[in-house]
Amino acid sequence: MMLHDMYCYVRILLIFRQMLMQVVDFLGQVPKIPLLANSNKRRFPFIGRKSDSKRFACSLTIGIQFCIIVLCSFLLSCGNDKQSKDATFTYNEPQGLTTLDPAMAGISGPIHIGGHIFECLVKLDTNGEIMPGLAKSWSVDDSGLNWTFNLRTDVFFHKDSCFGSPDYSRKFKASDVKFSFERICDSRTKTTGFWIFRERLQGADEYHENSKNGNGDQHIEGIKVINDSTVALVLKKPFAPLLSLLTMPYCRIVPKEAVMKYGETFGAHPVGTGPFMFHRWEQDRFIELKKHTLYHDFDEEGIRLPYLDTVIVQFIKDTKTEFLEYDNGNLDMILSIDPIFLPKVLVNGKLSESYAQHILLREEAQDIVFCGIMLDGEANAETSRMPLWKSAKIRQALNYAIDRKALCTYVLKGKGIPAEHGPLSPSMPGFSSEVKGYAYNPAKAKALLEEAGFPGGLGLPEITLQSGNNATTVQIVEALQQQWLKFGIKTSLRQVNFPEHSAMMHSGKLGFWRGNWIADYPDPENVLALFYSNMASPKGLNDTRFSNRSVDSLYELALWPGLTSEQRFKAYNEMERIIIQEAPWVFLYYTINYRLAQSPVFGLRPGIFGTISLEKVFLQNR
């Protein structure tokens, strides 16, 4: 029995006892009746006289009816007594917000906040598994090309004047899926999410090109509306991770009426089907969301979600100020603890005594931080003068010379896991602890350098390592520089702002760089595509230009929807082993994030890919 339920039952007994006492007092009998009194000891001397008996029976009936009415009212309130009325939950989004349009959901603001407002056909549970969303079921044919989605028929969009009146809404239907996906493929939308459907959805590329010429009358042949509750997607070639891809924020469903009415300002007037609806937004200060009273999901007791009435997201950019606001009780949750305050909050990975009553959510990000090595010797002058591209032994030595545990302990303050396996992080589906990567091994590092012809680093040209100029990033590369120097490997460091660094990395202008990859969706394909030769930069995101026929074959094999998850994961793990051996990366760490919430907050769940689920959150005793 839950503590909350037991509390309710005790209150019921006490209140019922009090009501019985009041009824008896009203009848002029004994002043008290014990809660479990023996009925044989009760004495009603007037019973037996006909008139008095009638009056007693009438009064007793009225009293009992009164008790039942009050008790039932209490039971109903107790059943939904998850919070006080007008419950407001407040948290902060340090990176601010410029738009809530799903077509522009490439950064944390619209990803996090937009997740309260919009929904996708499918969604992720807390373990990263695919669950029904706006689609209640789906299927794929034997060819792996034709996917059919059966949609829910009880879903309503938020009430909005775009439907004819501020109090009007309408049901979600299959044509909304077609409109939303075609909008992402329309060049005039200026979205950063077209890559989701490019070269995958039949007719998407042609539609995108036609839209550049203003031809808006065309449709994507690969999106077929069967009826109001059924939609089909036709792919150009099999792609097993399609469902994972459809959980992306770009795939959130929007109504045509709202986009047509608000136009370019739709991102400031969002209308979706999610648990919360847009209410007001004060730029650079906060945004306020209200409960969607027609939301389609219910809890296990049949209570309509969400529990919260209001969600307020503030935009405090300084994370130190954010933490102080949390400490003062002005925020119910912070999405990440500033490293300066980590020692105050956590001791050996657990909450300190001062924060013992708070709620800690430890989330392993689906990412990896690494140093990339250009393997195309003709890509740039920087690569050609460094022997890294042509010597796997040197690349392996760089990996063995890194003390990842020290980095995670002393530089990251516990916000990282040593990347001693492959490219897949421990929280990614398909991760296998049997895939062994690089652990700190000084003897092995020295031996490999000697085998490569550079004993003790003698004769090895100085290596230039470029990174962004974020404070933590700079600390990491400086620590790497010192660790490699112990083996005679000299490195010079160069820092530039992140946009410039990213552009140079993707255009092939760097020989050695600090990078990181945050998975877009929960499938190994999204990470291991970085080693597929057909994705070599600048066409794709294989920035090291790694090329291996066995890796390519395994990657293509794993895209077939007919394989089981175990079969696909086995192929991906074999890819990892080959990649580890060839070492196009120096593997550093997988990120850990900590969220902190006040003790009145219940129902918070760990986020997946940065999501924040609040539909089952409630505030107790506020």
Residue 345: predicted pLDDT: 93
Phi (first) and psi of residue 504, to 5 degrees? -65, -40
Closest by Cα among 390, 415, 535, 556 to 475: 415
Asked which of 237-246, 351-360, 464-473, 600-609 is least confident by mean pLDDT, the reply is: 600-609
Phi (first) and psi of residue 150, to 5 degrees? -95, 120
Asked which of 30-34, 68-72, 548-552 is least confident by mean pLDDT, the reply is: 30-34
277-299 per-position pLDDT tens digit: 999 999 999 999 999 999 999 99
301-339 per-position pLDDT tens digit: 999 999 999 999 999 999 899 999 999 999 999 998 887
Residue 208: predicted pLDDT: 94
CATH placement of domain 90-317: 3.40.190.10
Residue 17: predicted pLDDT: 47
Q: Encoding tokens for residue 422?
A: 């492959």
Work out the end-to-end distance of the chain between its first and last CA atoms, rounded to an integer number of angstroms: 23
Q: Is the pLDDT of residue 595 over 80?
A: yes
Beta strands 310-314 and 88-92: pairing type? Answer: parallel
Three-state SS at 392? helix
192-225 per-position pLDDT tens digit: 889 899 999 999 999 999 998 876 568 999 999 9
Q: Are 491 and 462 in contact (CB under 8 A)?
A: yes
Residue 34: predicted pLDDT: 37
Q: Is the pLDDT of residue 475 over 60?
A: yes
Residue 58: predicted pLDDT: 46
Mean pLDDT of 232-260: 96
Burial class (CB in 10 A: 0-12, 13-18, 19+), 423: buried
State the Cα–Cα distance between residues 459 and 449, nearest whole angstrom: 11
Residue 218: predicted pLDDT: 84
State the Cα–Cα distance between residues 222 and 216, nearest whole angstrom: 16
Mean pLDDT of 473-480: 95
Residue 10: predicted pLDDT: 39
Cα 527 from chain centroid (whole Å): 17
- pLDDT grade, residue 82 (50/70/90)? low
Residue 226: predicted pLDDT: 98
Q: Are 424 and 576 in contact (CB under 8 A)?
A: yes
508-529 per-position pLDDT tens digit: 999 999 999 988 888 999 999 9
- pLDDT grade, residue 472 (50/70/90)? confident
Side-chain half-sphere exposure of 423, counting CA atoms within 13 A: 30
State the Cα–Cα distance between residues 129 and 389, nearest whole angstrom: 38
Residue 36: predicted pLDDT: 35
Side-chain half-sphere exposure of 277, counting CA atoms within 13 A: 18
Q: What is the pTM of this model?
A: 0.78
Q: Encoding tokens for residue 383?
A: 């690569």
Residue 77: predicted pLDDT: 44
Closest by Cα among 426, 429, 363 to 612: 363
419-466 per-position pLDDT tens digit: 999 999 998 989 999 999 999 999 999 999 999 999 999 999 999 999
Q: Is the pLDDT of residue 130 over 50?
A: yes
Where, residue-wise, is CATH 3.10.105.10 in the chain?
A: 367-593
Q: Is the pLDDT of residue 30 over 50?
A: no
Asked which of 37-41, 247-251, 500-504 is least confident by mean pLDDT, the reply is: 37-41
* Residue 295 identity (one-letter amino acid): Y
State the Cα–Cα distance between residues 146 and 152, nearest whole angstrom: 20
State the Cα–Cα distance between residues 565 and 516, nearest whole angstrom: 26
Average pLDDT of the chain to the nearest whole number? 86
Give strand pairing partners of 512.
Answer: 373
Which residues fall within 8 angstroms of residue 269, CB to CB, at 6 or more apart?
Answer: 160, 258, 261, 262, 278
Phi (first) and psi of residue 386, to 5 degrees? -105, 135
Of 112 and 403, the structure prediction assigns the larger pLDDT to 403
Cα dihedral 609, 425, 404, 360, rounded to 10, equals 40
State the Cα–Cα distance between residues 214 and 207, nearest whole angstrom: 11
Give strand pairing partners of 432.
Answer: none
State the Cα–Cα distance between residues 251 and 241, nearest whole angstrom: 14
How big is the chain, counted in residues? 622
Where, residue-wise, is CATH 3.40.190.10 in the chain?
A: 90-317
Q: Is the pLDDT of residue 43 over 50?
A: no
CATH classification (class only), 367-593: alpha beta
- CA 596, 601, 606, 612 torsion-angle sign: negative
* Residue 538 identity (one-letter amino acid): P
* Percentage above 70 pLDDT, the chain: 85
- CA 340, 341, 346, 347 torsion-angle sign: positive
Three-state SS at 95? coil
